[in-house]
Amino acid sequence: MKLKDKILVAFFIMIAMPITMICVAASTIINLQMNSIHETYDVDSDTREVLTTPIQILNRLTRGVYNEIKLAALKTPEKLEDFNYIESLNRDIQNKYSFITVRKNDQFIYSGNTRKLSLISNSLPSFGVYDTDVDGGIYVGGKNPFLVKAQDFFFSDGSEGTIFVITDLNVLVPQIKAVAIQTVISFLLILFFTASILMLWIYRSILRPLNILRIATNQIRKGDLNYSVQFASDDEIGQLCDDFEKMRIRLKELIEDRLKYEEDMKELISNISHDLKTPLTAIKGYAEGLTDGVADTPDKQEKYLKTICAKANDISALVDELAFYAKIDCNTMPYSFSHINLHNYFSDCMEELKLDLEVKNIEVTFQNDVDPSVLVVMDAEQLKRVINNIVGNAVKYLDKKQGRIEIRIVDRDEFVHVSISDNGAGIASQDIPFIFNRFYRADASRNSKKGGSGLGLAISKKVIEDHSGQIWAESELGKGTTITFSLRKVGNGSEPYSSKGELENE
Ligand code: ADP
């Protein structure tokens, strides 16, 4: 559920849940207390009455005794002069917050509660002017409210008498008090309960993931990029955790790349210094031989000078290759792509290669299995560099008297595959996966005197990849090697473009 929906739901729960629960609780409390009122005072009352006019209930407490007095005044008034009888009636209502008082003329001759009587004795109605207003009672008192029921009668000596049934309204029936207190307590408990549930819910949906994120952020700040955030939820916070996790993975990759780059740079510098040092040491040695007079004949001196020249050329070639590699590695190589007919391109290539290789007793063959009209997108000059590298290796690592190099072009759907095979020394299977790495030279060639920088195939790989193609090797020690690369045919999408963003047509 989305966070905004959760907040909406929480809002409704906050309102609806306490209201419903309080209604249920209040009605249960009221029903229980109604039963209690009925059992304690033998009074029937309904819920509405309890909540609206609790005085009615107090009024009913004395209804029985009052009716008995009315009956006595009508039929046996002499009974009302009997204090024992009055006393027994008073006892009946004593525990119902009420008492009885008897007035003869203006004198109170009996009172069930003298203290309370003194509070209202002046407010009691005179003989003959009693008019009921609340279910047979009147309300008197003001500051000390009482409910008064009165019955006039004549004493046997002819004096005017009034008997009062007085109920103290200052007290609330304990059950009504209990309803109020229990309702307030349940209201507070329900509010607490609802708030706790919502708090828990909000904690689980917001605070817990935020806490997880905070811990993860701290871990990452300390450099622990393996600390992953695991929090599955489909809301906004869940998405935030997801994004955070993706950010962590990306950051980790970037840092690993950076470390690898630094490692590669160290290796690069050590390889360059090693590869430069070897010819430089030779140059130094031969130059010292010349100056020290070790080369004491013109023949020797010429040989020394030629060696110095050859080593200087090696350094120059290495520096050129390094400069070129640096250029393509930084993607600053300005390619000039165009649509080239492969058949024509390789036919021209073959002319050049044949001239060069026949002198070295190497037979070159070319087989084209692709439609002669097929065009590929390529930078002719850079592709020439790739072919020269591969053919150059074939020549360099040839160990047979009669060398053979075979160039073959085959059609593979959107691509054309170009394979250059030789019958040379071959590459050990454990070396094959690494020969396209920069400065990698298989042990055999490293120990031989073939020279080479270990950059040729790394450069070829980068050039082919910049053409949206791939390059790979198959080889068997002692039998020969085949290097194959793919070039995308024209009109198959994802064509490489020059750094100017334009494709130059042939
Ligand atoms: P190098 O300048 O050493 O030739 P390359 O990057 O061109 O560097 O080749 C990397 C390594 O792959 C070489 O050192 C060599 O061991 C091996 N290799 C490449 N081509 C061939 C081949 N045709 N025959 C045998 N080994 C080869």
Choose the residue to mutate in 398, 445, 476, 485 for probing ligand 1, maximizing ligand atoms within 8 Å of C-beta: 445
Q: What number does the ligand 1 atom closest to the CA of 480 have?
A: 24
CB-ligand 1 contact for 349 (6 Å cutoff): no
Structure-token pair, residue 350: 């073959």
Helix (H, G, I), strand (E, B) or coil at 433: helix
The residue whose CB lies within 8 Å of the most ligand 1 atoms, and thus the one to mutate among 272, 457, 461, 482, is 457
pLDDT values of the chain reduced to their tens digit, one per residue, 506 residues: 777 787 788 788 878 888 888 888 878 877 777 776 666 555 565 555 555 556 667 777 788 899 899 899 888 888 888 999 999 999 988 888 899 999 999 899 999 999 989 888 888 888 887 765 555 677 776 677 888 899 999 988 989 999 999 988 776 556 667 777 888 888 888 888 888 888 888 777 788 888 889 999 999 999 899 998 888 887 888 888 999 999 999 999 999 999 988 887 887 788 788 878 888 999 999 999 999 988 889 999 999 999 999 999 988 988 888 888 888 888 778 889 999 999 999 999 998 899 889 888 899 999 999 998 899 989 999 999 999 999 999 999 998 889 999 999 999 988 999 999 999 999 999 999 999 988 788 765 544 456 667 889 999 999 999 999 999 999 999 999 999 999 999 875 555 554 444 454 43
What pLDDT, on a 0 to 100 scale, did the predictor assign at position 256?
92
436 alpha carbon to ligand 1 midpoint, in Å?
Answer: 9
Helix/strand/coil percentages in the chain, nearest 5:
55, 15, 30
The response to whether residue 321 sits with its C-beta less than 6 Å from ligand 1 reads no
Does the Cβ of 393 fall within 6 Å of ligand 1? yes
Give distance in angstroms: CA of 454 to centre of ligand 1. 7
* Ligand 1 atom closest to Cα of residue 389: 7
Which residue lies with its CA nearest to atom 3 of ligand 1? 454
The CB of 271 under 6 Å from ligand 1? The reply is: no
In three-state form (DSSP H/G/I as H, E/B as E, the rest C), the secondary structure along 188-225 is HHHHHHHHHHHHHHHHHHHHHHHHHHHHHHHHHHCCCC
How many angstroms does the Cα of residue 198 sit away from the middle of ligand 1? 70
Tokens representing 323?
Answer: 């400069």
Please name every residue paired with 403 in a beta bridge, in sequence order, or none if there are none.
362
Distance from Cα 187 to the centre of ligand 1, integer Å: 87
Tokens of 226: 């393996």
Three-point CA angle 47, 50, 53, nearest 5°? 130
**Ligand 1 binding pocket mutation candidate from 321, 388, 390, 393 (most atoms within 8 A of CB):** 393
Cα(406) to centroid(ligand 1), Å: 17
Per-residue burial over 213-226, b = 16 or more CB atoms within 10 Å of its CB, e = otherwise: beebeebbeeeebe
8 A C-beta contact, residue 229 and residue 216: yes
Instruction: Tell how far the Cα of 427 is from the centroid of ligand 1, in angstroms.
Output: 8
169 lines ligand 1 (CB under 6 A): no
Is residue 408 within 6 Å of ligand 1 at its C-beta?
no
Angle between helices 456-466 and 298-329 (to 10 degrees): 30
Q: Tell me, using a 6 A CB cutoff, whether residue 481 lines ligand 1.
A: yes
C-beta of 166 in contact with ligand 1 (< 6 A): no
Please name the residue whose Cα sits nearest to atom 14 of ligand 1: 441
Q: Best mutation site among 435, 475, 482 for ligand 1, i.e. most ligand atoms within 8 A of its Cβ?
A: 435
pLDDT reported for residue 133 = 53
Q: Supply φ then ψ for residue 312, to 5 degrees.
A: -65, -40
Of all protein residues, whose CA lies closest to atom 7 belonging to ligand 1?
456
Q: In what order do the strands lie in the sheet with 415-422?
A: 362-368, 403-412, 415-422, 480-488, 471-476
- DSSP state letter for 144: S
Residue nearest to atom 16 of ligand 1 (CA): 442
Tell me how far apart the alpha carbons of residues 342 and 262 are, in angstroms, rounded to a whole number.
Answer: 40
Element (H, E) at 250: helix 236-291
pTM of the predicted protein model: 0.54
The CA R_g of the chain, rounded to the nearest whole Å, is 57
Angle of helix 236-291 relative to helix 298-329, nearest 10 degrees, comes to 170
Instruction: State in Å: Cα 332 to ligand 1 middle.
Output: 25
Does the beta carbon of 425 lie inside 6 Å of ligand 1?
Answer: yes
Q: Is the CB of 403 under 6 A from ligand 1?
A: no
